[in-house]
Structure 1
């Protein structure tokens, strides 16, 4: 491909990737107009799959809950898909509570005030923020490479699965 076709091809690739993953380029670098900023492909996986293995210890507490499951929700406030998942979680929270599901939400927002204003609306008790984003210890321990990521931890402390939506977790089968 010659130089005159390279720049249009990069813009086309950027637009295609943005459309596929719902990215809006909110963190786009104006000095790099062809850079694709995407919260769904920010990092390459650096950990093997954890399904069936003992859940890594979180930086602030143990993920297992005696007699119930824990749903770890890794998200970013400016992610539209994350907002949809969080809206579902708020709506189904009473049902999840009845089913003894503990929710731990972990934000990778850079700005503490953005996190605080958003997390205030969540009815669950455990909501954390780490401004290191995808490089936070919890994101790294669970191999989170996209947001949203929902990790289901069984009562025995083993990872049951990693999902992109609440529906995929199977926690609300009677509703879907």
Structure 2
């Protein structure tokens, strides 16, 4: 936890505003050091101040009026290295440490129930879990019929009671620190019961994310990316159902009040689904959120996903060296990248089944994401079909952008009217070669 909340030291800078929140700091060992002060905002960070501690290591940090109401984690970092993370939440408070290496024990907060609660509860939790680990070792070491086993069992029940009480106290608290601790527990995979079966714990953690997690608190926690990525990994490793993942994603979106956070979550989840090759999930979520009317200035990747051609719609024209090519005949459109293992497998399949595809009336058009002319060296790319497109712009090329290609290989089947009839990751899934 110290790696997350506490770096080697903390320093603050001076900003002046008579109506804003102030934080007084005193770190006597670091007088004259330069610092940067940052607030968390999803995948981004807002730099609030830069400056220098006075010779005595003191400074006054003023949260600007524009950030009034911010509740979340802030970072104070020395430009020479080191820093400290702590909570900011409408409090005028002071922090002091007279030691060279600030930590939970030697850093004093005055007037900050938030940071006092965080430090106290994290230490209590660590103490309980450390003891529980030792007790579990004892339970494994002694047989049930041995006297010490009963003693260890009694202590285990006692510690479980303490842990449950601590969780309940945290759940009832309205402090931001309490929400941060809940996020931390999720990331650490800490369930409600010691030695909880993994599947049971996974379902409990998933329930927390989709029904209870405060998304505003997560947005300002510094754990935005890790939590969303961790949740998707949890779904894939334990629950393993895309239908459940889609439904749970929509449930999370329905609980988000801020349009800014709604947009940020959509962008992040689309990026994660893209990385995992979940094209259908990308399409489903991008279309779902586009219809909500809540997206605010979505990033390019999300915009491309929203504007992606859909099955049943007209196939967009392709950009070729000779100009635009309108697709108005049966076509198998193949997007690939040389050297990509899956792409090379599909190229091999396509070459081996070329006559079958051609005899079924399909024109093949291949579009490469290669950045150089020699990207295909060492591979059999002597294609027998006429249309082989490559503008050496990779995924940023107009054809990849127009078709919203987020991963390769990708096949589109298009009918004689120019309508898209399917989108696939494998040639065999098109049913062209096995019908």
Do they fold alike, i.e. is TM over 0.5?
A: yes
Deviation at 1:119, TM superposition (A): 6.9
Deviation at 1:49, TM superposition (A): 4.4
Aligned to 1:57: 317
Q: Is the 8 A contact 1:39 1:147 kept in 2?
A: no
Work out whether 1:92 is the aligned partner of 2:348: no
Q: Flag the 1:141–1:111 CA change in 2: closer, same or farther, 3 A.
A: same
CA distance in 2: counterparts of 1:64 and 1:167, whole angstroms = 23
Aligned to 1:128: 389
Over residues 97-141 of structure 1, what are the superposed CA-to-partner deviations in whole Å (9 max), with x where a residue is unaligned?
111111101001111222477574212121111221111111111
TM-score, length basis structure 2? 0.30
Work out whether 1:169 is the aligned partner of 2:430: yes
Q: Which structure is larger by alpha-carbon Rg, 1 or 2? A: 2
Q: Is the 8 A contact 2:309 2:315 kept in 1?
A: no
Structure 1 unaligned spans of 5+: 21-37
| Number of positions where the alignment pairs a residue of Structure 1 with one of Structure 2 | 146
Q: Flag the 1:57–1:2 CA change in 2: closer, same or farther, 3 A.
A: farther
Structure 2 unaligned spans of 5+: 5-187, 189-225, 237-274, 279-300
Partner of 2:350: helix, strand, or coil? Answer: helix
Deviation at 1:62, TM superposition (A): 2.0
Q: Flag the 1:106–1:39 CA change in 2: closer, same or farther, 3 A.
A: farther
1:16-27 correspondence to structure 2 within 5 Å: none
CA RMSD of aligned residues (A): 3.1
Structure number with higher helix proportion: 2
CA distance in 2: counterparts of 1:106 and 1:53, whole angstroms = 20
Over residues 19-45 of structure 1, what are the superposed CA-to-partner deviations in whole Å (9 max), with x where a residue is unaligned?
x9xxxxxxxxxxxxxxxxx6959x552
**Whose relative contact order is higher, 1 or 2, with alpha carbons under 8 Å and at least 6 apart?**
1
